Amino acid sequence: MNIQGRNYIGYTLSSEGQKTFRSYVPAQDEYLPETFHCATPDETDRAMKLAEKAFDQYAAVPASKRADFLIAITEEIMACGEELLERAHLETGLPLPRLKNERARTIIQLTQFADLIREGAWIDARIDTALPDRSPAPKPDLRKMLVPIGPVIVFGSSNFPFAYSVAGVDTGPALAAGNPVIVKAHAAHPGVSDLTAQAIIKAAKRTGMPDGVFSMLYDDGFEVGAALTKHPASKAVGFTGSYKGGMALYRMAQEREEPIPVYAEMGSVNPIVVLPEYLKDNAVQLGKTLAASVTLGAGQFCTNPGLVFVTNSDGLDTFENEYKSEVEAVAPATMLTAGICKAFYKLKEEAQTQENVTELAVSKISSDLKNQSEATILRVTGQAFIANPKLHEEIFGPFSLLVVCNDSEELLEVISHLKGQLTASLMATEKEARNYPEIVKQLAKISGRFIMNGVPTGVEVCASMHHGGPFPSASIAQFTSVGRDSILRFVRPQSFQDWPDALLPQELQNANPLGIHRLVNDEFTIDKIQ
C-alpha cells in the first residue's frame, strides 16, 4: 500500500518525528508493518505558521475555485479505489459495505459544500444604503456578510474513518468557507488518514491552492492536539468524541489569551420513549427495530439509542421477548480498538452490578475474532433509574438500558432527569402525542433532533439536519456538525460602513457581479450585471 507514515505539513512530508506508533488490526489483535511518526513541537508550530500565512491568500480565492478544490478532493479520494476501503476495514473492523457507504457520504458532503459556495447565498449578504437626508440623523451605508475566521483545527474521530475524519464534516465546511485546516489524525486508523491526506494534498496542487491550506499531523496521545488548540494562530476547533476529551479541549481553548470556539460533539444516550398505545399495537416490530438500531455497527454510533423508556402496560411482555430474541441472535462484531472494547466491557459490567438492574439479553461472541462486543440489554425500574445517575451515562457500544415505568406520570418524572441529547425519539400514535403534551415538551427541550416513530441511527446529510444538541451532547447547542449550516461554525459576520463600492467585496458591491441572493434595503434581490 502507498502509505507514507509521516506528517503532512503543507504540500510536503515533514521530517520524521522521534516518537512512533503502528497501525492496529482489531479483528486479529495484531499490528501492520508501517510506522507512523508523532509530530514534534517544531512540526506542529510549522504547520500552524504555514496555515496562518496561507489564510489571507486562501480567503481571497474565489468561491468557484474553492469549489473546484472540494470536487478535486472527491475525485482524488475515489481514485484511491479499493485500497482505501480495504485499509479502513483492516484498521477499524467495520464491514466493507458500511465503509463504502460512508465513503459515498463523504463525497456527498464535499459536493454539497461545493454547490453551496458556488451558489453564494450562504454568506447572508445584506445591504442598507445610505440616507444622508434622514432626520434626525443621517443613515450611513452599511453592508454585511459572513467571512472566514482563520486556521481551523480538526480532530479525526475513531468511529467514522471517512465522514468524521480527515476529509469529513469539519474539514469540508472549513475549507469551503475559506479557512486553512490542520487535522490531528486519529491513531485508530492512521493508514486511512494517510491515504486521505495524500488525496487532499494532490487536489490542492491540482487546483493551485496555497501551500499550508491543509496539513495533517499524527499523535497517539494528547500532546499534539493540546499544542494545536493552544497555538495562537488557531481560530476554531472541530471535535467528535468523548465528553472527557471534548471538555478538555474546551477548557484549553477558554484559557488561551484569545479564547476560541470548540465545536465538540460529545456523549449522548439518545432516549427513546414508547407510549402505551404504540407499544400495544407495535410490540413485535418495535423489538426488531430497536435491536437492529442498538447493535448497528457494534453500537459505535453517536446516535446509538442507549435508553428506552416504556410503561408497564399491554404489549410489554411481547416486546421484551422479541427484543431479547433479536439481540441474542445478533452476529458477533469487532469493536474499533482494543481500548474501546475494554472500556465497553468495564462500563457494561459496572452497569450490570448496579442495584435493581437485571439482564434482559446478551448476544454471544465468536472465538474466531478478537475485540468483539457482547450486545447487551439491561432492565431497570423508573424509580431505580432516577435514584442512580450512573445509569444515565453513555456506554459506547452495543448497549441499551430498558427503563420500565409504572405509568405516564412516572415516565414524565424519569425523563425530566435527562440532560441534553443529540436526539430524542417518541414512539406514539398521533392521538397519544396530543394527549401527553408535557412528555413531548420535555423531550423537545433536551434534544437537537426530535424523531417521531423512528430510531436515531442514520443522520441524513441535508439542509434541515441538526446534528448537535443541548449540553453535554455538544459544547455549543446552536450549531450543527452535519448539513449546510455546519459551515456557520467557521465564519463570522463583518460589516462595512461607508466604503467606496469598488473597494467592497464583490458580494457586497452594487452591481452584484456574482449574481447571489442579497437582502437590499429589506428586499431580496438577485440582479446581475446586464
Q: What is the full DSSP assignment across 63-110?
A: HHHHHHHHHHHHHHHHHTTHHHHHHHHHHH---HHHHHHHHHHHHHHH
**Rg (alpha carbons) of the chain, rounded to whole number:** 25
> Would you say the C-alpha torsion 474, 475, 477, 482 has a positive or negative sign?
negative
Return the active site residues.
Answer: 265, 302
Helix (H) or strand (E) holding 36: strand 30-37
User: What order do you get walking across the sheet with 518-520 strand by strand?
Assistant: 491-497, 142-148, 126-128, 518-520, 523-525
Residues 451 and 274: their CA atoms lie apart, in Å, by: 12
The domain made up of 272-452 has a fold known as Aldehyde Dehydrogenase; Chain A, domain 2 (3.40.309)
Beta strands at 152-155 and 236-240: parallel, antiparallel or unpaired: parallel
Count other C-beta atoms under 10 Å from residue 31's C-beta: 12
Which set of grid coordinates corresponds to residue 71? 470536487
User: What order do you get walking across the sheet with 214-217 strand by strand?
Assistant: 12-13, 8-9, 214-217, 181-184, 152-155, 236-240, 262-265
Which set of grid coordinates corresponds to residue 403? 427503563
In this predicted structure, what is the pLDDT of residue 526? 67
Please tell me the pTM assigned to this model: 0.95
- Which candidate, 403, 295, 392, 391, places its Cα nearest to that of 351? 391
For 446: left if phi > 0, alpha if psi spans -120 to 50, otherwise beta; the answer is: alpha
Please provide the DSSP assignment of 441-478 as one string: HHHHHHEEEEEESS-S-----STT-----STTSBS-TT
Q: Give me the residue label for grid cell 459544500.
A: 113
3-class secondary structure, 195: helix
- Which candidate, 214, 253, 236, places its Cα nearest to that of 149? 236
Contact 274, 309 (CB under 8 A): yes
Contact 141, 129 (CB under 8 A): yes
The residues, ordered by sequence, that sit 6+ positions from 435 with a Cβ below 8 Å of its Cβ are none
Superfamily covering domain 8-266+480-489: Aldehyde Dehydrogenase; Chain A, domain 1 (3.40.605.10)
**Segment 441-489, tens digit of pLDDT:** 999 999 999 999 999 998 999 999 999 999 999 999 999 999 999 999 9
In this predicted structure, what is the pLDDT of residue 16? 76
Q: Encode burial over 270-298: b for 16+ CB neighbours within 10 A, e otherwise.
A: bbbbbbbbbbeebbeebbebbbebbbbbb
Residues 472 and 329: their CA atoms lie apart, in Å, by: 33
Residues 438 and 484: their CA atoms lie apart, in Å, by: 32
- Which candidate, 403, 389, 291, places its Cα nearest to that of 358? 403
In this predicted structure, what is the pLDDT of residue 411? 97
Residue ranges for the chain with pLDDT beneath 70: 1, 367, 526-530
- Which candidate, 345, 393, 390, 401, places its Cα nearest to that of 372? 345
In this predicted structure, what is the pLDDT of residue 438? 97
Annotated domain spans of the chain: 8-266+480-489, 272-452
Residues 457 and 309: their CA atoms lie apart, in Å, by: 17
In this predicted structure, what is the pLDDT of residue 364? 85
In this predicted structure, what is the pLDDT of residue 529? 34
In this predicted structure, what is the pLDDT of residue 527? 54
Which set of grid coordinates corresponds to residue 433? 402525542
